[in-house]
C-alpha cells in the first residue's frame, strides 16, 4: 500500500491545529470518495479513546466514541452518494404580488407641518455685501447656521403588514434522476488495513484494530482492551504530570534563588564560581535517579490512593 492506494472506508480522528478536530468518515461509492455531511467532533485530551464505526446491512450507520454513540443515521441522507430524492420544481415561480414584508411603514402616518428636518438654515441676519456683483460673483447665498428647531429626519412609524403572506417556499417535485441503491454500504473482499498518519507531535499510539460483522463482539473487545486500561492510564498520567509539576517548581525555585543571590552579590564575588559550577555539572547516576523517581511515586500514591496494575487483555 501507498498514499495513492484505493480504499473502501477511511475512518478515524482528524486532529490538525486548532480548527480541525473531527472524526473522518469517508466512504467509496462507484469509484468516488464521499465524506460525511455531519461534523463529528473528536475528544481532545491526553487520554486514549476508542473509535467505532458501525455500518448496518440496511444502509444505516452509527459512530461511537468510547463505546458511546455520538451520531447515527442513514447512509443516503448523510452522504452525497445519490441524487436527492426531491428537487425544486423548475417551472414554479413566486407570484409577483406575493408580499413577504413582515412590517411596513404606516401609510396613514403623516409628517407634522411644523417638523423641522433641516439641520442648517440660512442666517436671517446676513446681508448681501453692497459691492456684490452677480454678473461677476454669481448669485449670492447667505451663510448657514445651525437650526435650533431641528428634530432630525422624520420617518413614518412601522406597523405590521396586514397583507403579509409569509416567506414563499419553492414547491418541490420528485427527482426523475433519483434511483435508490440497495447496495449502499456493502463492501466485499476487504483484506488490508492501512494507517494514514500525519503527525507533527510525537507520542501517539494506535493499536487494537478490529474489523468484524458482530457489533456486540466489537463492544466486548473494546471493553476488554481499552476499557480495562483507561482508568489505570489516567492515574499514571496524573502521576507523571504531578511529578513534572514538582520538578518544574523545584527548578523555578532554584533559578529564583540564584537570581536573588546574584542581586545580593554587589561585588560579583560568586559569578566566577557559579560559572565554573555550571560548566562542571556531573551527570546524576542512573540508580540514584531511578531511586528518587520511585520515592516520588510512592509519596504521590500515598496521598492519592494506590494505582491498580494493568491487566492482560483476554479475548
| Per-residue confidence (pLDDT) for residue 156, from 0 to 100 | 93
| Per-residue confidence (pLDDT) for residue 243, from 0 to 100 | 94
| Per-residue confidence (pLDDT) for residue 79, from 0 to 100 | 95
pTM over 0.85: no
Average pLDDT, the chain: 84
Q: Are 163 and 74 in contact (CB under 8 A)?
A: no
* Tens of pLDDT, residues 170-219: 999 999 999 999 999 999 888 888 888 887 777 778 888 999 999 999 99
Residue 310 has pLDDT above 50, yes or no: no
Residue 10 has pLDDT above 90, yes or no: yes
**233 burial type by CB count under 10 A (0-12 exposed, 13-18 middle, 19+ buried):** middle
Higher pLDDT, 39 or 17: 39
C-alpha to C-alpha distance for 149 and 164, rounded to whole angstroms: 38
Residue 285 has pLDDT above 60, yes or no: no
Say which residue the cell 461534523 belongs to: 39
| Per-residue confidence (pLDDT) for residue 315, from 0 to 100 | 31
pLDDT band of residue 85 (cuts 50, 70, 90) is very high
| Per-residue confidence (pLDDT) for residue 300, from 0 to 100 | 47
* Lowest mean pLDDT across 105-119, 201-215, 241-255: 201-215
Cell matching residue 276: 565554573
By 3-state DSSP, what share of the chain in percent is helix, strand and coil, each rounded to 5? 25, 20, 55
Cell matching residue 283: 551527570
Give, in words, the CATH class of 9-85+180-224.
Answer: mainly beta
Higher pLDDT, 140 or 53: 53
Residue 57 has pLDDT above 60, yes or no: yes
pLDDT band of residue 269 (cuts 50, 70, 90) is low
What residue spans define the domains of the chain? Answer: 9-85+180-224, 232-304
Q: At what angle do helices 226-264 and 286-304 cross, to 10 degrees?
A: 110
| Per-residue confidence (pLDDT) for residue 264, from 0 to 100 | 74
| Per-residue confidence (pLDDT) for residue 305, from 0 to 100 | 46
| Per-residue confidence (pLDDT) for residue 290, from 0 to 100 | 59
pLDDT cut 90: percent of the chain above it: 48
* Lowest mean pLDDT across 46-60, 106-120, 295-309: 295-309
Q: Are 211 and 29 in contact (CB under 8 A)?
A: no
Higher pLDDT, 201 or 285: 201
Higher pLDDT, 307 or 85: 85
Residue 302 has pLDDT above 70, yes or no: no
Instruction: State residue 54 phi and psi, 5-degree precision.
Output: -120, 125
Residue 72 has pLDDT above 60, yes or no: yes
Closest CA to 239 of 152, 184, 157, 306: 306
| Per-residue confidence (pLDDT) for residue 127, from 0 to 100 | 87
Amino acid at each position: 500500500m501507498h498514499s495513492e492506494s484505493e480504499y473502501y472506508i477511511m475512518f478515524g480522528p482528524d486532529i490538525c491545529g486548532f480548527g480541525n478536530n473531527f472524526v473522518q468518515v469517508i466512504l467509496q461509492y462507484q469509484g468516488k470518495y464521499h465524506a460525511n455531511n455531519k461534523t463529528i467532533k473528536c475528544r481532545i485530551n491526553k487520554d486514549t479513546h476508542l473509535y467505532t464505526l458501525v455500518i448496518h446491512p440496511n444502509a444505516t450507520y452509527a459512530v461511537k466514541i468510547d463505546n458511546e454513540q455520538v451520531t447515527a443515521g442513514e447512509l443516503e441522507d448523510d452522504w452525497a452518494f445519490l441524487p436527492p430524492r426531491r428537487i425544486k420544481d423548475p417551472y414554479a415561480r413566486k407570484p409577483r404580488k406575493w408580499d413577504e414584508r413582515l412590517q411596513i411603514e404606516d401609510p396613514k402616518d403623516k409628517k407634522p407641518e411644523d417638523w423641522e428636518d433641516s439641520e442648517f438654515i440660512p442666517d436671517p441676519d446676513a446681508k448681501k455685501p453692497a459691492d456684490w456683483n452677480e454678473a461677476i460673483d454669481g448669485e449670492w447665498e447667505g451663510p448657514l447656521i445651525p437650526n435650533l428647531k431641528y428634530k432630525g429626519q422624520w420617518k413614518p412609524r412601522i406597523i405590521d403588514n396586514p397583507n403579509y403572506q409569509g416567506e414563499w417556499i419553492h414547491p418541490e417535485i420528485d427527482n426523475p434522476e433519483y434511483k435508490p441503491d440497495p447496495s449502499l454500504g456493502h463492501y466485499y473482499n476487504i483484506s488490508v488495513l492501512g494507517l494514514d498518519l500525519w503527525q507533527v507531535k510525537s507520542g501517539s499510539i494506535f493499536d487494537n484494530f478490529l474489523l468484524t460483522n458482530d457489533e456486540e463482539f466489537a463492544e466486548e473487545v473494546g471493553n476488554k482492551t481499552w476499557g480495562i486500561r483507561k482508568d489505570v492510564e489516567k492515574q499514571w498520567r496524573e502521576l507523571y504530570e504531578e511529578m513534572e509539576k514538582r520538578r518544574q517548581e523545584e527548578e523555578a525555585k532554584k533559578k529564583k534563588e540564584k537570581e536573588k543571590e546574584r542581586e545580593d552579590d554587589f561585588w560579583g564575588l560568586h559569578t566566577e564560581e557559579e560559572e565554573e559550577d555550571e560548566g562542571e555539572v556531573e551527570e546524576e547516576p542512573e540508580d540514584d535517579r531511578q531511586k528518587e523517581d520511585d520515592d516520588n511515586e510512592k509519596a504521590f500514591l500515598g496521598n492519592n490512593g494506590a494505582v491498580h496494575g494493568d491487566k492482560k487483555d483476554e479475548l
